[in-house]
Structure 1
Amino acid sequence: MDKQAVTVKDGEGEVLQVLGADVRFLLEAAATGHRFSIMDVTLPKDQGPPPHEHPWDEAYFVLSGRVRFVIGNAVRVFEAGDFAYVPGGVVHGFKGAEETPARVLVFDAPATAEGFFRDVDKETKAVPGVAPDIPAIAQRHGMRFLPPAA
Protein backbone atom coordinates (compact mmCIF):
# COMPACT_ATOMS: atom_id res chain seq x y z
CA MET A 1 0.00 0.00 0.00
CA ASP A 2 1.24 3.44 -0.90
CA LYS A 3 0.51 5.55 2.20
CA GLN A 4 -0.57 9.16 1.86
CA ALA A 5 -0.91 11.95 4.39
CA VAL A 6 -4.50 12.78 5.31
CA THR A 7 -5.76 16.16 6.49
CA VAL A 8 -9.31 17.08 7.38
CA LYS A 9 -10.29 20.61 8.36
CA ASP A 10 -13.11 21.24 10.83
CA GLY A 11 -16.42 20.99 9.03
CA GLU A 12 -14.98 18.97 6.13
CA GLY A 13 -15.78 15.38 5.33
CA GLU A 14 -18.82 13.23 4.80
CA VAL A 15 -21.24 12.97 7.73
CA LEU A 16 -23.20 9.73 8.15
CA GLN A 17 -26.41 9.44 10.19
CA VAL A 18 -26.14 6.34 12.40
CA LEU A 19 -28.36 5.42 15.37
CA GLY A 20 -29.24 9.05 16.05
CA ALA A 21 -25.62 10.20 15.91
CA ASP A 22 -23.60 12.08 13.30
CA VAL A 23 -20.47 10.13 12.32
CA ARG A 24 -17.71 11.94 10.42
CA PHE A 25 -14.67 9.94 9.37
CA LEU A 26 -11.45 11.82 9.98
CA LEU A 27 -9.35 8.87 8.84
CA GLU A 28 -11.00 6.16 6.75
CA ALA A 29 -9.98 2.51 6.82
CA ALA A 30 -8.53 2.57 3.29
CA ALA A 31 -5.99 5.25 4.27
CA THR A 32 -4.39 2.95 6.88
CA GLY A 33 -4.68 -0.38 5.09
CA HIS A 34 -7.58 -1.12 7.46
CA ARG A 35 -5.26 -1.05 10.50
CA PHE A 36 -7.37 1.63 12.23
CA SER A 37 -9.80 4.46 11.57
CA ILE A 38 -10.81 7.59 13.46
CA MET A 39 -14.31 9.08 13.65
CA ASP A 40 -15.68 12.30 15.11
CA VAL A 41 -19.10 11.39 16.54
CA THR A 42 -21.74 13.88 17.69
CA LEU A 43 -24.19 12.35 20.19
CA PRO A 44 -27.47 14.09 21.01
CA LYS A 45 -29.08 13.19 24.34
CA ASP A 46 -30.09 9.50 24.50
CA GLN A 47 -28.72 8.81 20.99
CA GLY A 48 -25.99 6.35 20.09
CA PRO A 49 -25.46 2.61 19.86
CA PRO A 50 -27.12 0.28 22.37
CA PRO A 51 -25.02 -2.42 24.06
CA HIS A 52 -23.28 -4.56 21.46
CA GLU A 53 -20.11 -6.52 20.87
CA HIS A 54 -17.70 -7.14 18.01
CA PRO A 55 -14.23 -8.63 17.58
CA TRP A 56 -12.30 -5.39 16.97
CA ASP A 57 -10.98 -2.97 19.60
CA GLU A 58 -12.33 0.54 20.05
CA ALA A 59 -11.16 3.55 22.05
CA TYR A 60 -13.10 6.70 22.91
CA PHE A 61 -11.94 10.19 23.84
CA VAL A 62 -14.68 12.62 24.89
CA LEU A 63 -14.05 16.03 23.33
CA SER A 64 -17.06 17.83 24.80
CA GLY A 65 -20.28 17.16 26.67
CA ARG A 66 -21.20 14.09 28.67
CA VAL A 67 -21.56 10.50 27.45
CA ARG A 68 -23.15 7.58 29.28
CA PHE A 69 -21.08 4.45 28.59
CA VAL A 70 -21.98 0.84 29.27
CA ILE A 71 -18.78 -1.23 29.33
CA GLY A 72 -19.28 -4.80 30.45
CA ASN A 73 -21.51 -4.58 33.52
CA ALA A 74 -20.44 -1.03 34.43
CA VAL A 75 -22.34 2.16 33.59
CA ARG A 76 -20.36 5.39 33.84
CA VAL A 77 -20.72 8.97 32.64
CA PHE A 78 -17.65 10.35 30.90
CA GLU A 79 -16.92 14.06 30.34
CA ALA A 80 -14.57 16.11 28.19
CA GLY A 81 -11.02 14.80 28.56
CA ASP A 82 -12.09 11.29 29.63
CA PHE A 83 -10.88 8.21 27.73
CA ALA A 84 -12.04 4.60 27.47
CA TYR A 85 -10.52 1.59 25.72
CA VAL A 86 -12.80 -1.37 24.95
CA PRO A 87 -11.12 -4.56 23.72
CA GLY A 88 -12.85 -6.67 21.10
CA GLY A 89 -15.47 -9.03 22.55
CA VAL A 90 -16.43 -6.73 25.45
CA VAL A 91 -20.06 -5.59 25.49
CA HIS A 92 -20.33 -1.82 25.27
CA GLY A 93 -22.63 1.00 24.19
CA PHE A 94 -22.86 4.75 24.65
CA LYS A 95 -25.33 7.63 24.40
CA GLY A 96 -25.33 11.37 24.83
CA ALA A 97 -26.07 12.15 28.50
CA GLU A 98 -27.27 15.77 28.40
CA GLU A 99 -29.25 18.21 26.26
CA THR A 100 -26.13 19.65 24.65
CA PRO A 101 -24.78 17.08 22.16
CA ALA A 102 -21.49 15.45 23.11
CA ARG A 103 -18.55 14.97 20.74
CA VAL A 104 -16.38 11.87 20.92
CA LEU A 105 -13.36 10.72 18.94
CA VAL A 106 -13.74 7.00 18.21
CA PHE A 107 -10.80 4.85 17.13
CA ASP A 108 -11.34 1.31 15.83
CA ALA A 109 -8.60 -1.25 15.19
CA PRO A 110 -8.49 -3.00 12.92
CA ALA A 111 -10.69 -0.59 11.00
CA THR A 112 -13.97 -2.48 10.62
CA ALA A 113 -16.84 -0.24 11.80
CA GLU A 114 -16.93 1.91 8.66
CA GLY A 115 -18.87 -0.65 6.60
CA PHE A 116 -21.57 -0.92 9.27
CA PHE A 117 -21.90 2.88 9.55
CA ARG A 118 -22.08 3.32 5.79
CA ASP A 119 -24.73 0.59 5.40
CA VAL A 120 -26.91 1.97 8.22
CA ASP A 121 -26.71 5.48 6.76
CA LYS A 122 -27.53 4.25 3.24
CA GLU A 123 -30.33 1.86 4.26
CA THR A 124 -31.92 4.45 6.56
CA LYS A 125 -32.17 6.86 3.63
CA ALA A 126 -33.20 4.20 1.08
CA VAL A 127 -36.88 4.09 2.03
CA PRO A 128 -37.86 7.19 4.04
CA GLY A 129 -40.03 6.37 7.04
CA VAL A 130 -39.03 2.69 7.06
CA ALA A 131 -36.42 1.74 9.65
CA PRO A 132 -33.79 -0.71 8.43
CA ASP A 133 -33.14 -3.96 10.29
CA ILE A 134 -30.16 -2.69 12.32
CA PRO A 135 -29.38 -6.05 13.99
CA ALA A 136 -29.23 -7.71 10.55
CA ILE A 137 -26.90 -4.99 9.24
CA ALA A 138 -24.76 -5.41 12.36
CA GLN A 139 -24.58 -9.18 11.85
CA ARG A 140 -23.35 -8.68 8.26
CA HIS A 141 -20.43 -6.72 9.73
CA GLY A 142 -19.49 -9.08 12.57
CA MET A 143 -21.40 -7.21 15.27
CA ARG A 144 -24.06 -8.42 17.67
CA PHE A 145 -26.55 -6.13 19.40
CA LEU A 146 -27.86 -7.35 22.74
CA PRO A 147 -31.62 -7.63 23.21
CA PRO A 148 -33.14 -4.68 25.10
CA ALA A 149 -33.19 -5.09 28.88
CA ALA A 150 -36.54 -6.30 30.22
Structure 2
Amino acid sequence: MPGPIVVDAGASRALNIVGEKLTVLASGDQTGSYEVFHQLGAEGSGPPPHHHPWDEAFYVIRGAVTFGMGDQELVALPGTFVHIPGGTTHWFRFGEDGTEMVSLTSHAGAAAMFAEFDREIAPDKPDIAKLVEIAGRHGATIGAPKG
Protein backbone atom coordinates (compact mmCIF):
# COMPACT_ATOMS: atom_id res chain seq x y z
CA MET A 1 0.00 0.00 0.00
CA PRO A 2 1.42 3.44 -0.95
CA GLY A 3 2.40 5.85 1.80
CA PRO A 4 1.49 9.52 2.22
CA ILE A 5 2.42 11.92 -0.58
CA VAL A 6 3.45 15.51 0.10
CA VAL A 7 4.48 17.81 -2.73
CA ASP A 8 6.06 21.08 -1.61
CA ALA A 9 5.60 24.17 -3.75
CA GLY A 10 8.42 24.34 -6.27
CA ALA A 11 9.54 20.75 -5.60
CA SER A 12 8.36 19.48 -8.98
CA ARG A 13 9.30 20.62 -12.47
CA ALA A 14 6.39 21.58 -14.69
CA LEU A 15 6.22 19.62 -17.93
CA ASN A 16 5.72 21.64 -21.11
CA ILE A 17 2.94 20.02 -23.09
CA VAL A 18 2.47 22.02 -26.31
CA GLY A 19 2.10 25.38 -24.55
CA GLU A 20 0.63 24.09 -21.30
CA LYS A 21 2.61 23.81 -18.05
CA LEU A 22 1.57 20.63 -16.27
CA THR A 23 2.93 19.45 -12.93
CA VAL A 24 2.41 15.85 -11.83
CA LEU A 25 1.37 16.09 -8.18
CA ALA A 26 0.81 12.35 -7.77
CA SER A 27 1.36 9.57 -10.31
CA GLY A 28 -0.35 6.20 -10.40
CA ASP A 29 2.92 4.65 -9.24
CA GLN A 30 2.74 6.79 -6.09
CA THR A 31 -0.98 6.38 -5.34
CA GLY A 32 -1.49 2.83 -6.55
CA SER A 33 -4.38 4.01 -8.73
CA TYR A 34 -5.40 7.61 -9.58
CA GLU A 35 -3.24 10.55 -10.72
CA VAL A 36 -3.36 14.29 -9.84
CA PHE A 37 -2.06 17.24 -11.90
CA HIS A 38 -1.75 21.01 -11.64
CA GLN A 39 -2.27 22.71 -15.01
CA LEU A 40 -1.46 26.24 -16.22
CA GLY A 41 -2.25 27.25 -19.76
CA ALA A 42 -1.85 30.36 -21.85
CA GLU A 43 -4.83 31.70 -23.74
CA GLY A 44 -5.78 29.43 -26.63
CA SER A 45 -3.64 26.47 -25.56
CA GLY A 46 -5.07 23.04 -24.80
CA PRO A 47 -5.27 19.57 -26.31
CA PRO A 48 -7.00 18.64 -29.57
CA PRO A 49 -10.06 16.37 -29.41
CA HIS A 50 -8.98 13.07 -27.87
CA HIS A 51 -10.21 10.15 -25.79
CA HIS A 52 -8.67 7.63 -23.43
CA PRO A 53 -9.82 4.81 -21.17
CA TRP A 54 -9.44 6.71 -17.89
CA ASP A 55 -12.00 9.09 -16.39
CA GLU A 56 -10.74 12.63 -16.02
CA ALA A 57 -11.95 15.42 -13.73
CA PHE A 58 -11.01 19.10 -13.68
CA TYR A 59 -11.47 21.84 -11.05
CA VAL A 60 -10.95 25.38 -12.34
CA ILE A 61 -9.00 27.61 -9.92
CA ARG A 62 -8.36 30.74 -12.00
CA GLY A 63 -9.49 32.04 -15.38
CA ALA A 64 -11.90 30.43 -17.80
CA VAL A 65 -11.56 27.29 -19.85
CA THR A 66 -13.84 26.08 -22.63
CA PHE A 67 -14.50 22.35 -22.56
CA GLY A 68 -15.86 20.29 -25.43
CA MET A 69 -17.26 16.85 -24.54
CA GLY A 70 -18.92 14.91 -27.32
CA ASP A 71 -21.52 17.33 -28.73
CA GLN A 72 -21.55 19.51 -25.59
CA GLU A 73 -19.48 22.67 -25.09
CA LEU A 74 -19.27 24.82 -21.96
CA VAL A 75 -17.20 27.61 -20.43
CA ALA A 76 -15.98 26.69 -16.94
CA LEU A 77 -15.17 29.53 -14.52
CA PRO A 78 -13.35 29.36 -11.16
CA GLY A 79 -15.07 26.92 -8.81
CA THR A 80 -16.40 24.75 -11.65
CA PHE A 81 -15.87 20.99 -11.52
CA VAL A 82 -16.03 18.99 -14.77
CA HIS A 83 -16.01 15.17 -14.88
CA ILE A 84 -15.41 13.38 -18.20
CA PRO A 85 -16.01 9.62 -18.29
CA GLY A 86 -13.37 7.42 -19.93
CA GLY A 87 -13.92 6.92 -23.65
CA THR A 88 -15.58 10.34 -24.10
CA THR A 89 -14.03 12.46 -26.85
CA HIS A 90 -13.13 15.81 -25.31
CA TRP A 91 -10.89 18.88 -25.62
CA PHE A 92 -10.36 22.18 -23.84
CA ARG A 93 -9.01 25.67 -24.56
CA PHE A 94 -7.62 27.97 -21.90
CA GLY A 95 -9.28 31.39 -21.88
CA GLU A 96 -8.15 35.00 -21.90
CA ASP A 97 -5.23 35.71 -19.54
CA GLY A 98 -4.68 31.95 -19.08
CA THR A 99 -6.21 29.39 -16.77
CA GLU A 100 -5.17 27.38 -13.73
CA MET A 101 -6.82 24.12 -12.75
CA VAL A 102 -6.28 20.84 -10.94
CA SER A 103 -7.13 17.59 -12.69
CA LEU A 104 -7.43 13.96 -11.66
CA THR A 105 -7.54 10.69 -13.57
CA SER A 106 -9.23 7.50 -12.41
CA HIS A 107 -6.12 5.37 -12.96
CA ALA A 108 -2.52 5.52 -14.11
CA GLY A 109 -1.53 6.32 -17.67
CA ALA A 110 -1.62 10.06 -18.20
CA ALA A 111 1.50 10.96 -16.13
CA ALA A 112 3.77 8.72 -18.21
CA MET A 113 2.20 10.01 -21.44
CA PHE A 114 2.68 13.65 -20.38
CA ALA A 115 6.32 13.00 -19.45
CA GLU A 116 6.92 11.51 -22.90
CA PHE A 117 5.22 14.47 -24.61
CA ASP A 118 7.53 16.81 -22.65
CA ARG A 119 10.65 14.84 -23.62
CA GLU A 120 9.87 14.28 -27.30
CA ILE A 121 7.75 17.17 -28.60
CA ALA A 122 9.03 20.73 -29.02
CA PRO A 123 6.56 23.08 -27.29
CA ASP A 124 6.85 25.79 -29.97
CA LYS A 125 6.56 23.46 -33.02
CA PRO A 126 4.38 20.48 -32.11
CA ASP A 127 4.79 17.44 -34.32
CA ILE A 128 1.20 16.20 -34.60
CA ALA A 129 2.22 12.79 -35.96
CA LYS A 130 4.55 12.30 -32.95
CA LEU A 131 1.79 13.48 -30.58
CA VAL A 132 -0.59 10.87 -32.06
CA GLU A 133 2.08 8.15 -31.87
CA ILE A 134 2.93 8.83 -28.21
CA ALA A 135 -0.73 9.06 -27.19
CA GLY A 136 -1.40 5.70 -28.85
CA ARG A 137 1.39 4.03 -26.87
CA HIS A 138 -0.43 5.10 -23.69
CA GLY A 139 -3.95 4.04 -24.67
CA ALA A 140 -5.12 7.50 -25.76
CA THR A 141 -6.37 8.47 -29.21
CA ILE A 142 -6.09 11.93 -30.75
CA GLY A 143 -9.28 12.68 -32.68
CA ALA A 144 -12.81 11.35 -32.49
CA PRO A 145 -13.47 7.60 -32.58
CA LYS A 146 -13.86 6.14 -36.04
CA GLY A 147 -17.17 4.72 -36.77
Q: Report the TM-score, using the length of structure 2 for normalisation.
A: 0.89
Structure 2 unaligned regions, length at least 5: none
Distance across 2 between alignment mates of 1:140 and 1:31:
21
Q: How many residues align?
A: 142
User: Which one-letter code corresponds to 1:143 in the other structure?
Assistant: A
Counterpart position of 2:13:
14
Q: Secondary structure at the match of 1:75?
A: strand
Distance in 2 separating the partners of 1:65 and 1:107: 19
**1:122 equivalenced with 2:123 (yes/no):** no
What pairs with 1:71-150 in structure 2 (closer than 5 Å)? 71-98=69-96, 100-124=97-121, 131=127, 133-146=130-143
Unpaired segments of 5 or more residues in structure 1? none
Cα drift, residue 25 of structure 1 = 1.0
**Relative to structure 2, which stretch is displaced further, 3-12 or 36-45?**
3-12
How far did 1:129 drift?
A: 6.0
Moved over 2 A (4+): 9-12, 128-132
How far apart are residue 131 of structure 1 and its match?
3.2
Measured in 2, the distance between the counterparts of 1:130 and 1:11 equals 26
**Structure 1 length as normaliser, TM-score?**
0.88
Once the 2 structures are TM-superposed, how far is the Cα of residue 12 of structure 1 from its aligned partner? Answer: 2.5
Give the letter aligned to residue 82 of structure 1. T
Distance 1:104 1:65 in 2: 9
The residue aligned with 2:44 is: 46
Decide whether the 8 Å contact of 2:18 with 2:121 is kept in 1. Answer: no
CA RMSD across the alignment: 1.7
- Report the residue type matching 2:39 in the other structure: V
